[in-house]
Chain A
Amino acid sequence: MSIDLSQFFDVFFEESFEGLDIMEAELLNLQPGHEDSETINTIFRAAHSIKGGSGTFGFTSVANFTHVLETLLDQIRDGRRQLTAEHVNLLLQSVDCLRALLTALQAEEEPDLSNANELKVKFEEILGGKESVSSDTADSIPQGQESQTYQIDFKPLPHLFKTGNEPLYMLSELSELGDLETHAFCDAIPEIDDFNPEDCYLSWRLYLTTSHPESAIKEVFEWVEDDAEISITLCGGLFEDDVSVSTTPEPESEKKETSSNDTQNIDVPKTPSATATKAKPEASKKSAESTSIRVGIDKVDSLINMVGELVITQAMLTQLGEQEPTENTLAAMQEGLAQLAHNTRDLQENVMRIRMLPISFVFSRFPRLVRDTSQKLNKQVELKLLGEQTELDKTVMEKISDPMVHLVRNSLDHGLETPEDRIKAGKDPVGTVTLNAFHQGGNIVIEIMDDGRGLNTEKIKSKAIANGLIQATDELTIEEVNELIFRPGFSTADEVSDISGRGVGMDVVRRNIQALNGSVEVTSAKGVGSTFTIRLPLTLAILDGQLVKVAKHTYIIPLISIVESLQIDIKKVSKVGNGLEVLRLRDEYIPILRLYQLFNHGGAIEELDKTLLVVVESDNHKVGLLVDDLLAQQQVVIKSLEANYQKVNGISGATILGDGRVSLIVDISGLIKLSGLKRPGTQELLVEQELDEVVS
């Protein structure tokens, strides 16, 4: 029977990656010297399962590597070896290494073994000498030798049956090896009174003529070695020596040595070839990526439940529709429609929930990150995770991970002080970084808090002046100063460190978050700490929109980017170069973009005082969009323009309104580019120079 093992690969990879996650999380929990045996056990089991599975499914590179890991863990588990911080580090590196190996194997690529071999050497050093990775080659005695006859004496001990073994099957197994002649001895059977039906009283003398080696015969009796008297003798051969089955230690150790030599020979030549395999195309990797999502059965059940409700409501409405229209049926129908609206909203929310995953998926990578980073920085850090069960759309989750990593690194590097500085400041030498997530309205809020030194407003200011972001004479509030760190090209780190402050900084973080229709802001208090607050929509599929009228058309402006909407005071409008109009709004000058001009619509209101201005913000720039009227605010389902038509500048998508018409969703940053206010690749609005002239 042949079974295609590859059908189990997906499950194997999935559970192995899960196992690695568990190992990583548990390793981070370990305190050398105070290790909890259950934690060690859990780590051991995870490694053990990966080894067992990879061996079974033919991923020998993984199995060989996991073997040394397992051996070390086994010794720690049995108390034969004391766990040290070095072990933990090495094990964590191995987790990364295994993850890389498995990822390569999953993508059907040749894995890069150089790292694994390096780590393996380190493990072997710890384990004291080369560990033998068992290979059964030592056993393989060449087949096809001449037939020989063995005399086998087999006398089971009375308790044999209670081990679950069955002499009958052993005899028939022997008969499969060759010609078997059996003689049974019944003389040990006692009188009926003394007879215990659960005991074995029979014994046998067997003559087996076979071309199989003696080891094959031994194998038949392998499980009952201690439960029977067995002797195997070669008869009529060249030598009549009794070769009993009883395991003598000598050949055993010999076997070990040869096998360890074998593995060494196998492992060494692999290293140089490793670099060559690196440059494999990325394409194949993608295809292996799973696009499935795990959904809890409760979510599915509640969906089915809701569809049931929907069907009932629909049936009720159909029935009402068939009746004579009277006052009563009309009222009932209105009630039914309200019910339908309710059902639809519930269903919508719950379908969205399918894509929702707890944010712990992102949070879980931070214990490791914080540990590694704080070690590198020689800082003591405690990481607190709050609201891990807060749910978030899978797509949003994937995209928020990198900005969060950046912010956390930033907190560790710039925010937290060294233990010495903290003690001087009268603080606990161990700094705290807290990640907190919670829902607020239709948004998810993620806070990254540290109890470090807080933002250095003086330093930020002088840096901003040096970079020409602000004038030395500018009076800025603390909030405005803090905002500066999100400006492009801003980094206060005196020297570029390994951890953060590579120049690409907060502006990238902000841009990435804004691309998700989110926002990020910072609050900080000197000596007390800083808090970065990320606000994100729960999903990318639905958007809170402000419907606006431009000529005969309805456009949608994302609510999150709207700062305010106002009637224009014509006296405060001035014209600058290029015919651009700006509105002085309190202390700021807001460029006015006439939407009907940008979108080429005729018939719109052109007089500024009869229109409305929607002030929106994007990439730290405020612009005013001139519209005829503000309409309703509502949630709209985003339909991709690229998928249905093609990319249109200044438009991020489309939706279908209640009356069936298509409405376009305005893309603010795209619009700014479209208006020519900003040259591609630059950060400043063209108008800002002109504005300076107006001010002066």
Chain B
Amino acid sequence: MKKILAVDDSASMRQMVGFTLKKAGFDVTEAKDGSEALSIAKQQGFDAVISDVNMPVMDGITLIKELRSLPNYKFTPLLMLTTESGLDKKTEGKAAGATGWIVKPFNPEQLLAVLKKVIR
């Protein structure tokens, strides 16, 4: 079973993403900010990480930068959840090492469709 780390400070978004992915047969771990995600990611491997951008303590861009610098996450798909107003965030995210982005708002079907680009 493929393992995904879902990172969002909003509990409802986290639940929605988590629930959708679990239903689609993924093993999902949730984290509420970048710092928590990073320490979880260091302890265990993941096949993909989906992270919100704006979060307290450590934001998504920093998380992606940190993850990409870890040997275990060199090739791992790192996706960011961003809003349509965050156009420069996409560039910033790419520069930090993000694989791609999912534009909010999205529904569960869209989430799974986008995920298919990087994990099957």
Contact = CB atoms under 8 A, between A and B. Distances in A.
Contact of B77 (A8, A74, A165, A172): A165
Contact of A63 (B9, B12, B105): B105
Contacts of B70: none
Contacts of B56: 42, 45
Interface in B39-71: 52, 54-56, 68
A134 B85 CA distance: 8
A1 B83 contact: no
Contact of A166 (B16, B78, B118): B118
A162 interface: yes
B84 interface: yes
Interface stretch (A46-54, A391-399, A449-457, A582-590): A46-54
B29 interface: no
A56 interface: yes
Given A162-B74, A165-B77, A56 B11 contact: no
B108 A226 contact: no
Interface in A46-79: 48-49, 51-57, 63, 67, 70-71, 74
A297 interface: no
Contact of B100 (A42, A55, A63, A223): A223
B72 interface: no
Contacts of A57: 12, 16, 105
A45 B23 contact: no
Contacts, number: 115
Contact of B12 (A3, A8, A172, A173): A8
B34 interface: no
Interface string A131-147: 00010000000000000
B51 to A, nearest CB: 12
Nearest to A52: B104
B116 A169 contact: yes
Interface in A1-37: 1, 3, 5, 7-9, 11-12, 14-15
Interface in B1-36: 9-13, 15-16, 19-20, 23-24
Nearest to A19: B10
Determine the interface band of chain A, counting residues with CB < 8 A from chain B. Answer: 35 or more
A53 B19 CA distance: 15
- Majority secondary structure, A binding face: helix
Interface in B95-120: 97-101, 104-109, 112, 116-120
A163 interface: yes
A11 B11 contact: yes
A599 interface: no
A44 interface: yes
Nearest to B19: A3
Nearest to A221: B117
Contact of A12 (B12, B19, B107): B12
A84 B52 CA distance: 29
A5 B15 CA distance: 10
Interface string A589-608: 00000000000000000000
Contacts of A14: 11
A391 to B, nearest CB: 25
A164 B78 contact: yes
Given A3-B20, A11-B15, A226-B94, A53 B101 contact: no
A45 B9 contact: yes
A164 B76 contact: yes
Contacts of A170: 117
Contacts of B117: 165, 169-170, 173, 220, 223
A298 interface: no
Contacts of A195: none
Contact of B99 (A8, A15, A56, A163): A163
B118 A56 contact: no
Contacts of B77: 164-166
Contact of B83 (A3, A15, A51): A51
Interface of A: 1, 3, 5, 7-9, 11-12, 14-15, 42, 44-45, 48-49, 51-57, 63, 67, 70-71, 74, 134, 161-166, 169-170, 172-173, 198, 220, 222-223, 226
8 contacts: A3-B16, A45-B9, A53-B13, A74-B85, A162-B75, A163-B99, A166-B118, A222-B100
Given A3-B16, A3-B19, 11 more contacts: A11-B12, A12-B12, A54-B105, A56-B16, A56-B107, A161-B75, A162-B68, A164-B97, A166-B77, A220-B117, A223-B117
The 3 A-B residue pairs with the shortest CB-CB distance in the complex, in nearest-first order: A55-B105, A164-B99, A223-B100
